[in-house]
Amino acid sequence: MAHQGCESFADLQMDSGVATCCGQCESCAREVFDQAKAAHGVVAAIHPPESVAKIVK
C-alpha cells in the first residue's frame, strides 16, 4: 500500500472486508473507491470493526 492507503480495490477489500460477503455493496464501494483514488491517488486504509475482522479471516 502506498502512503498507508490502498492502491487497488483488492487492497481495500483485504484491509476493510468491504464487498467480501454478499456483494450487495460492491458497486457502490467500487464507485466511492474510484472517486477517492482519482481525487487523491490512494484511498486511506480503513480497518474494520473487530467483529468484521473475525469473519473475514
Identify the CA nearest to 6 among candidates 56, 57, 16, 53.
16
Measure Cα distances from 6 to 3, 11 in Å: 8, 5
CA 57 to the chain's CA centroid: 15
The whole-number mean pLDDT for each consecutive block of 10 residues of the chain, a chain of 57 residues, reads 71 90 92 88 62 49
Looking at the whole model, is its pTM more than 0.85?
Answer: no
